[in-house]
Amino acid sequence: MTRICVSVCENSVEALESAAVRASECADVVELRLDCLTDLEGLERILSRISRPVILTFRPREQGGRRELDQQTRESFWKTAPRTEWWDIEWDLTVETDWSRIIVSHHDFSGVPHDLSQIYQRLASTPARVVKIAVQTNDIVDCIPVFKLLDRARSEDRDVIAIAMGNAGLATRILGPSRGAFLTYAALEEEWATAPGQITAEKLRSVYHVDQIDCETMICGLVGLPVMHSVSPHMHNSALRTAGINGVYLPLEVRDLKTFFERLVHPRTRELDWNLRGLSVTAPHKSAVLDFLDWIEPNAKEIGAVNTIVVDDDKLRGFNTDAAGFMEPLLKVFDSLDGLRVAVLGAGGAARAAVWALLKQQASVTLFARDVVKARQLEQVFDVSYESLSSASFATYDLVINATPLGSGELLDQVPATAEQLDGVNCVYDLVYNPIKTRFLQEASKVGCRTVPGLEMLIAQAKSQFVLWTGQTPSSNAMYEAAFAALDH
């Protein structure tokens, strides 16, 4: 059974009451973090308004709580604490109580302790009903000891909550219940998270369908750094649901690719028994992953980048769906790209796939980049000319493509070219997809250019990935609607 516990921690009784009532609407269990409150008057009223089982927690700062609590304050709190279904008590405190409702907990916010197994042993030797261990992850491989702890507790028939905190640990929050975790914690709102890496209960249910994951579930994921902002989990999970496939797609924040492939991915060396079927790869790893694959399709080799990996028995196969995904929307605008004069702005990974695909279609490509060294590297690999990006005019081009991040994230207000520079261009294609209608596309519309949003490429490349992993064609609508709902407008 999957239990989602929403943890709430507010500074006033009124705010805690309102959060707790909202939490009981979306959670299976509500955790009241009382270390946020200085005055506990009104606690009984809050408890009477929560319609779910409650975990009461009074966490000292050194274990991740919000304030300093000395031993005596903690002991006297628990002596008079109201009776609820569960009390979460840190393992350093001895309290005379009914152990059948105690969660005995240990938190480490500095990393994964080398003696994790002994810590578990110590906690498991108490009469507490549930053992909880939360450790900080700095890399995705830090999830391995946490998953191993879950496996061990299951084999010993011990109820356990084991969490890898931080973005790199998200897999433990999503897959934990299917591997025996007693519950998984969630936030009411992302900005109200009570621990690093906590996502909302709404997201756990509606994006990851955490209550439908089991040990048979096919697992796919997005490898990159950062990945938490990505809309790919929204699109792929929605398509998996619509197709009725028992699968889940996770963001996997990876720093050290080599260790990740050795210890978590490659079927011949990995330490985790999981039904991993495929990976998407995003910046900054698209070129570096080539070193860890058993087979690479010729197109991906030529482009020098892999954005899709399929785990086939004991082999890892690499593909590039970016190039075809990039071309799909263009072929709806132009009958042929033969001889088309195309300006590609940027010289990174996306530009590389775009240039390769354009040259295959016999287009005449000019690269505009700010970094001369990178542009020259591309010029040497592909048959393109190169010009400087600053104050260029594009009037003589049929198609202008933005393959820089200008117009999104921290560069939201910037444009790679203005309406004036684009005047006379037939079509403008922005690979940036968040927001959907970028300022660059708005500039292009002002001077009558046709426009292609990056969302079309995003969906096209994702559809090909889905086919490679599942053998089925995904619903474009499901992918589009999920991405549309998750993106800025």
- Around 215, how many Cα atoms within 13 Å sit in the side-chain half-sphere? 9
Instruction: Locate all alpha helices (DSSP H) within 406-453, ordered by sequence.
Output: 419-422, 439-446
163 pairs with which residues across the strands? 134
Residues that bind ligand NAP (CB under 6 A): 283, 322, 346-351, 369-371, 374, 389, 403-406, 408, 411, 431-433, 454, 457-458, 461
CB of 90 to ligand NAP, least distance (A): 43
**Which CB, 276 or 452, lies closer to ligand NAP?**
452
**Which CB, 34 or 235, lies closer to ligand NAP?**
235
Residue whose C-beta lies closest to ligand NAP:
348
Distance CA 466, CA 472 (A): 7
E strand map for 203-283:
218-224, 247-253, 276-281
Q: Is 330 left (phi over 0), alpha (psi -120 to 50) or beta?
A: alpha
Is residue 124 within 8 A of residue 116, CB to CB? The reply is: no
What are the b/e assignments for 283-303, b being 16+ CB within 10 Å?
Answer: eebbeebbebbeebbebbebb
CB of 456 to ligand NAP, least distance (A): 8
Distance CA 357, CA 96 (A): 70
CB of 315 to ligand NAP, least distance (A): 26
Q: Is 129 exposed, middle or buried (0-12, 13-18, 19+ CB in 10 A)?
A: middle
Is residue 284 within 8 A of residue 296, CB to CB? The reply is: no
Cis omega (within 30 of 0) for bond into 405: no
User: Of the listed 203, 286, 332, 446, which one is catalytic?
Assistant: 286
**Which CB, 101 or 370, lies closer to ligand NAP?**
370
Q: List phi, psi (to 5°) of 338.
A: -60, 120
**Which CB, 19 or 344, lies closer to ligand NAP?**
344
**Which CB, 231 or 425, lies closer to ligand NAP?**
231
Distance CA 128, CA 191 (A): 32
Reference 192, options 19, 409, 18; nearest CA is 19
**Which CB, 183 or 369, lies closer to ligand NAP?**
369
CB of 393 to ligand NAP, least distance (A): 17
Q: Reduce the DSSP state of residue 320 to 3 states and report it.
A: coil
**Which CB, 169 or 221, lies closer to ligand NAP?**
221
Residue 10 makes CB contacts below 8 A (sequence gap 6+) with 16, 18, 19, 36, 37
Is residue 402 within 8 A of residue 431, CB to CB? The reply is: yes
Is 148 catalytic? The answer is no
Torsion angle of the four alpha carbons 312, 318, 323, 329, in this order, in degrees rounded to the nearest 10:
20
CB of 238 to ligand NAP, least distance (A): 17
CB of 249 to ligand NAP, least distance (A): 16
**Which CB, 65 or 349, lies closer to ligand NAP?**
349
385 pairs with which residues across the strands? 366
CB of 389 to ligand NAP, least distance (A): 6
Tokens 């053998």 found at? 471
**Which CB, 204 or 483, lies closer to ligand NAP?**
483
Q: List phi, psi (to 5°) of 143.
A: -70, -25
Residue 377 CA to its chain's centroid (Å): 32
CB of 371 to ligand NAP, least distance (A): 3
Q: List phi, psi (to 5°) of 273.
A: -90, 95
Alpha-carbon distances, residue 92 vs 22, 75, 95, 122, 155 (angstroms): 32, 11, 10, 11, 26
Cis omega (within 30 of 0) for bond into 435: yes
CB of 416 to ligand NAP, least distance (A): 7
What number of residues does the chain have? 489
* Catalytic (active-site) positions: 286
